[in-house]
Amino acid sequence: MAVMLPGEVSYLLNMLGFEWPEGNEDKVFDYGSRWMAFSGEAGEANNLGTQAAQHALGANSGPAMEAFQKSFDDIEGVKDVATKLATAGNLTGGCLLLVGAVIIALKVAFVVNLVALAVQIATAIASAAVTFGASLAWIPVAKEIARRLLELALNLALEQLMGGA
């Protein structure tokens, strides 16, 4: 189930100038899993094709079979393309799983920071009478801290996606 923003907190997020991460981590994880499954299927097809080619080469001979073997084993040949296809499926699936994890991490960071900000604002308002309104001066500071923490979370996520720079 995708992490959704509580309605009470969306106002704070907009006030800080951020938008809720719209990525649906469930769908991203699903697509990642599908690519990984495709990679396995491509690898199996490659193995079956290689076995069939070896069987054909073992049972036959001649110039046509030599040309077939050369074409099959050549760089950019059938075997090479199928191997690269399986590898690409694994890489794509792995990247999508990583992106899904980053989406969840961002959403959790956003919710935690926004709930903390809401508590700080509520506390400042509740203690306004006792402090003769002085506690309300904390609200802009709390907003700025929350904004900077959200920026930090976004920057960390981008760094992780770009290779951990």
> Distance between CA 161 and CA 42 in Å, rounded?
26
* Residue 148 falls inside a structural domain: yes
List the alpha helices (DSSP H) in 127-137. Answer: none
Confidence at 59, pLDDT banded by 50, 70, 90: very high
Nearest alpha carbon to residue 138 among 156, 155, 154, 117: 117
Contacts of residue 86, defined as CB under 8 A and 6 or more positions apart, other chains included, come to 39, 40, 42, 43, 46
| Residue 135 covered by a domain | yes
Whether the per-residue pLDDT at 4 is higher than 80: the answer is: no
Amino acid (1-letter code) at residue 85: L
The predicted model gives 121-144 an average pLDDT of 88
* pLDDT tens, residue by residue, 20-38: 777 789 999 999 999 999 9
Domain of residue 40 covers: 11-162
Question: pLDDT, tens digit, for every residue of 77-110?
Answer: 888 898 999 999 999 999 999 999 988 888 888 8
Amino acid at 116: A
Q: Based on the structure, what is the number of domains in the chain?
A: 1
For residues 53 and 72, is the Cβ–Cβ distance under 8 A? yes
Closest CA to 21 of 149, 153, 159: 153
- Is 5 a member of any domain? no
Residues 6+ apart with CB under 8 A from 149: 109, 113
Give a yes or no: residue 61 inside a domain.
yes
**54 within a domain of the structure (yes/no):** yes
Residue 165 has pLDDT above 60, yes or no: no
pLDDT > 90: what percent of the chain? 33
Residue 165, helix vs strand vs coil: coil
- Assess if residue 6 is contained within a domain: no
Nearest to 148, CA basis, from 116, 119, 121, 123: 116
Tell me, what's the pLDDT at 164? 56
Domain assignment present for residue 1? The answer is no
What's the whole-number mean pLDDT along residues 112-135? 87
In a domain, 3, yes or no: no
